[in-house]
A and B are shown apart, each in its own frame.
Chain A
Amino acid sequence: QQPVQSPQAVILREGEDAVINCSSSKALYSVHWYRQKHGEAPVFLMILLKGGEQKGHEKISASFNEKKQQSSLYLTASQLSYSGTYFCGTASGGGADGLTFGKGTHLIIQP
C-alpha cells in the first residue's frame, strides 16, 4: 500500500523550517527520501534503515519511527534550491521489492 505523505504542499519563506511526514500501514525495512524538480529526475537525499540511526547532512535530516512506521524529513533554514517535490519511498524487505512511493509533497520556497 502507498505511504501517505503530509502535507501535500507547503509554501515557505527562505530561511524557514519545514517538516514532511511519511506514514505507512505496513511494517517497513527502509525509507528513502528523494527530491524532484520540475522536468528533472528524482534525486536521492537519504535512506533510513530499520534499526539504523537518524540521518542527516547540513540542513536536511530525517528520522524513522519503527514502532509507528513513520518517517519525517526535516529541512532547516530552507534555501531557494530546496524547492521541488519530495517523495518518500518505502520497502518492507531488505531485498529488491521495489520502492512504493508516496504521492509527494510540493515545497515552494519564496525569497
Chain B
Amino acid sequence: KAGVTQTPRYLIKTRGQQVTLSCSPISGHRSVSWYQQTPGQGLQFLFEYFSETQRNKGNFPGRFSGRQFSNSRSEMNVSTLELGDSALYLCASNDGGDIYGYTFGSGTRLTVV
C-alpha cells in the first residue's frame, strides 16, 4: 500500500508569510502526527490528530496550527513565518496512538528567507 505522502517536498518562503503543508496518511490510518526536525533541536512533536480531532499539542507557539479532514488527510499551517521556522516538517501516521509504530513521510523542507 502507498506510504505517507507529503507535499510539497521543498518550499521557500519569505519572513512574515504563511505556509500550508499537506499530508496524506497510509490508507486506513486515522492518526496523523506532525514533527519538526532541525539540526539543533532534533525531532520535536507539534501535534496529533485522530478522527478530525486534535488530541495533543507540543510546545510550539500559536502560529503553528493544523487540522484533519474526514478522509484523514491533514494540513499544518504556519503563519507569520520566522527565520527559525526553517526546518524539515515530518508527518507520521499509524493506527491510533503511541502504542503503535509510526510511518513517516519524506517531509517538507521549509526554508524561510
Chain A residues close to B by CB (< 8 Å): 2, 29-30, 32, 34, 40-44, 46-47, 49, 87, 89, 91, 93-104
Contact = CB atoms under 8 A, between A and B. Distances in A.
A100 B41 CA distance: 11
Interface residues of B, number: 27
Contacts of A30: 98-99
A47 B105 contact: no
Given A41-B105, A103-B42, A94 B97 contact: yes
A28 to B, nearest CB: 10
24 contacts: A30-B99, A32-B101, A40-B106, A41-B4, A41-B90, A41-B105, A42-B90, A42-B104, A47-B99, A47-B100, A49-B99, A87-B42, A91-B98, A95-B55, A95-B98, A96-B33, A96-B55, A98-B45, A98-B47, A98-B56, A98-B58, A99-B33, A99-B98, A99-B102
A61 B90 CA distance: 26
B25 to A, nearest CB: 13
Report, nearest first, the 10 A-B pairs whose CB atoms are least far apart.
A98-B45, A91-B98, A44-B101, A101-B43, A41-B104, A96-B55, A96-B48, A42-B104, A103-B42, A41-B106
